[in-house]
A and B are shown apart, each in its own frame.
Chain A
């Protein structure tokens, strides 16, 4: 073990600058690098260990290394370097292992494999499995212990959920945080200061939760353009955290201000982890070079200076998988860094006072210059000069531990330069055999291990191969997939092999392999991973083969769908279901006429869901099963008729107990149809019988009351009695019309409040009948009636009792000239003053003629009538509907299409009425009988000749040409109409 050693890089850097300067890429500049290079204090080699996760316990004495099938403890501070190894039963890689960070639970650790988390207590010699936390449906990606409460830990998973577990109640999560997004959670972390906040990373986004309010995140942070690999909360400031991302940046965020990062460290390569130093003001990051040159890239940064790292730790020859802080319980000013790399060495690095001091904000500028003993530590290189050095490394291929010192990777600042580097790197990538397993690791961890029909036998990201057993369509296929080192680059699809145990003929095998290669190529062409797609395609193809043998066509469809680019993305992430609401098992629906449909089904599937922890119905479809429904839907063209959509997955996964549940679903769902119209106080039978006879309103009211009694609506009988009273003349010699016109404010307001009450309480039938019955009275023999009916409607509305000259109706623009003329006409001759007075009187209290309804209420009541008419339409009582609509001031709908307009022969104005009022003569004369037309008329659109419809019909039964001009009316008219359509 070499002691702490600082290397001077001045000379080397200078030499490098010379060589690259010759290549004409970078300007020289005086060598003045300002960061420390440091080698590890201790190194433990474990050649036989393939650990994927590492953790340091609370005391700082033990390091846990966990890999597939074993756990191992390494004691730090003892130089024997031996590993205490314990086997465990698991075919999956360990994705995370974390020692508890509270002293009261210091012997506990949490180990995540696949979807489960095991809580392990380290006894004197053996690990004791305390609990298994089950709740996730896909691979667990990260675990974090609560800093204050020793019982709490949080885990996050590809299934998008973050679960908070309480070890005192390990059967289900104490709190489930549902991120509801397309991407699974990759990192999670408790706040180190308060422990109330929690951050989870989903691709490039962060969600900040407050565990006191678990229903939705308190903040969304769109942190990075690419996947976030590491989250770390500040040990000092409650709301601050740092994130490391694939996009090559480390960002400092304050969650109170989530819009922009406070500070950004930019590197050229993806950053795997970034963690605050527990003491001091620093941050350590691991950079993973894109194409995995075996350089180490562990850098210490000052939080106040993002341009250059403070220190670089060199020694590892391969990608650093993880690191942890080793607390020094004796000294609070010193800490150590423990790193585990894929070169299978465990290294310990001391971070001393000096370095921590350098991290302090004030120190960064002054100290290098004024402290002589520190200046020795520094290798002077100007920032611009860092790039050539990188290049030099890139150019000099052999990468050895000895060269590691100059492999420290500074940040890219000039874009052109970065581009050059990348080209160089990709060149190297092709020549290197030792490739990173990062992306493959990642793909394996994302792989849905619950895929129907597919069993995962082996996933080895290091040897770069995977084995699957696929049982579908009555055949078994053992598939081995080898991944080339450059996978998934366009030229390197994985190799597929059908191994021994495959029960297919060679011919079929060939077709299947072709399907696999096709699918793989399609994805790989775009540099995308392809494993899951290939497996799904294979299952579909196997099923199709069987279907083809059975004579079933139509299965091609699933294949087509699989290849449609649109769905492709969705197939890979069946996580879509997380935002689709849980299917309704019951429903209720009113239709337009008060009929009610209801259905409800027993919810067996509730019991099948693993994730359901409470009695409440889950909210998302993904609760039904963790794996994607969509893939299932698309892939299975024919479904077993007896199998439920929601139970199918479970059936396939071969749990016999569940099949009984399907049988319990007794029969098919039943829908009930109810008549709820009586709840709405409407009745079709009553509607059919009600009368609106206005000759004797009182009598009509009595009859309607009787109808109500017959149909059991006794509550309405008094109302009709009241209505009858309203309609009955109070004074002996009062005529019907006078009764309606005059006075009796009591009757008016009583009627109005009756109508409003019934409309308000929903009994629209009664309200509308009352409104219609007392609306217009077409009867009457008095002179008053005649005048009122002779008045055009606009006039009625506009006449004011205080004007001797009638106002011009400005609103009714289209008809205003007519009205005006009409008015003049009326005033000029036939109107006597007394009549004028009558009219005024009639209008003075604002009531429509012959009506007990106030004019202001008419539009509202018309709405009621239209609503009721719609119900009558639904009941198909069309004549009743027409009767009701007759009582509205309904303007006819605008004429669409061709309209026949006649022109007055005298004033040459177009008229829509049979008679020109100003000229006092009819406008249309029948071409056959020469008499004016008052009723239905027809005319030729071409020549304009026409007349009474009856006459026209008779004429054209025998003739084809016009009676006047010889025009071929029928043909031409139909031609014109066809043109218009």
Chain B
């Protein structure tokens, strides 16, 4: 089901920490401990189109802005800086903005929904979150800081998708422009916090407690308009937790997706918000999908070969581990197949079974 399009040798001199495709899937940005960000053509394994140098330490994460603002990329680094890059051609990148008002490593960056304009959130180990807003007409950046967002440090940040106007009321421009901006952040205090912008200030709206160790990644699921929200959080405690709420975002219920063998540090939602990709310290990439009973099942993608990460030679047993896990997921999946169903359900089962074969 998942087909390999390209294998790209990044030629980074050190460990890669993040890789992200742009909106169109044409350009790939990678960042590494060698302090550079590299841009590749996603369909050709050529040399890097560009190498962006500006950081003096490991670069932890990159984020692409919505293409309506142009080709814009943000990177954050151990050197306490956030750099926003802009390109005119894929080979030609310039520094658009540099933000260096954090006192410790900046661990995560995320561009907000395009409806809010060009806005970037940064999470730092100094415990604060910065929200950088660009006035695109004048090219002026405005920074707002949430101090002491998490004691010890903030590890991850993610934007809530732009809220659909409530259909109960009229849905003209006025309601759209006043849509509430929200952020979710995870930190070293084992907490996940939801922030809401209120009169130009960011206030803590919710505090989600379930993890027993550092939260390493948070991801707010993209919304296609259904009246529910989901947040996936990954933690050092080896759990991935999916938090769900109804449209008003007041009550959050947690369900543990899975307990992994090692710390989990990265989660990513698919565009339609129904598939979650997870990876962690064991370097295995897994894909998860919620079935109709609300259970999370692991998706078997083409007999484990297509997406399986390259294993390090130090873990000779991890192959077998993965296989047993897959078998387990088969067994878990099995009960969901039979049973009476209406026409429409039947067809969805068809698609499910295709997935697992």
Contacts and interface: CB of A to CB of B under 8 A. Distances in A.
Contacts of B33: 583, 644-646
B200 interface: no
Given A617-B281, A673-B28, A641 B13 contact: yes
Interface residues of B, number: 113
A679 B310 contact: no
A129 interface: no
Contact of B344 (A576, A585, A719): A719
B30 A671 contact: yes
Interface string A569-585: 01000001001111111
Interface in B299-352: 299, 301, 306-307, 309-314, 343-348, 350-351
A596 interface: yes
B307 A598 contact: yes
Interface string A624-649: 00000110011000010110111000
Nearest to B64: A591
Interface stretch (A545-553, A844-852, A862-870): A862-870
A676 B280 CA distance: 20
A754 interface: yes
A817 B301 CA distance: 60
Interface in A93-143: none
A671 B15 CA distance: 11
Given A590-B270, A616-B263, A718-B347, A597 B224 contact: no
B278 interface: yes
B287 A856 contact: no
Interface string B28-41: 10101110000010
Given A597-B28, A616-B263, A645-B33, A867 B223 contact: yes
A581 B23 contact: no
A580 B30 CA distance: 20
Interface string A843-887: 000000000000010111111101110010011100000000000
Contacts of A676: 1-2, 270, 275, 287
A679 B287 CA distance: 10
A671 B301 contact: no
Interface stretch (B82-90, B140-148, B209-217, B251-259): B209-217
A415 interface: no
Interface string B1-35: 11111111111111111111111110010101110
A565 interface: no
A122 B25 CA distance: 70
A863 B8 contact: no
Given A576-B104, A669-B12, A866-B225, A874 B278 contact: no
Contact of B283 (A586, A713, A722, A762): A586
Nearest to B104: A576
Contact of B19 (A597, A603, A763, A811): A597
Interface hub of B58, B152, B171, B283 (most chain A Cβ within 10 A): B283
A383 B277 CA distance: 71
A215 B216 contact: no
A918 B351 CA distance: 56
B242 interface: no
B76 to A, nearest CB: 12
Top 8 A-B residue pairs of the complex, sorted by shortest distance between their CB atoms: A863-B225, A602-B312, A617-B281, A762-B274, A600-B309, A859-B167, A715-B350, A591-B21
Interface of B: 1-25, 28, 30, 32-34, 40, 42-43, 56-58, 60, 64, 78-79, 103-105, 107, 125, 137, 152-153, 155, 164-165, 167, 170-173, 188, 190, 212-214, 216, 222-227, 236, 238, 262-263, 265-266, 268-275, 277-285, 287, 292, 299, 301, 306-307, 309-314, 343-348, 350-351, 354-355
Given A584-B60, A585-B281, A590-B277, 15 more contacts: A180-B188, A593-B24, A602-B314, A606-B314, A668-B11, A669-B16, A673-B43, A675-B2, A676-B270, A678-B2, A680-B270, A680-B272, A762-B274, A811-B170, A859-B167
Interface of A: 180-181, 215-216, 561, 566, 570, 576, 579-604, 606-607, 615-617, 619, 621, 629-630, 633-634, 639, 641-642, 644-646, 664, 667-676, 678-682, 713-716, 718-719, 722, 753-754, 757-764, 811-812, 856, 858-864, 866-868, 871, 874-876, 889, 891, 893-894, 981
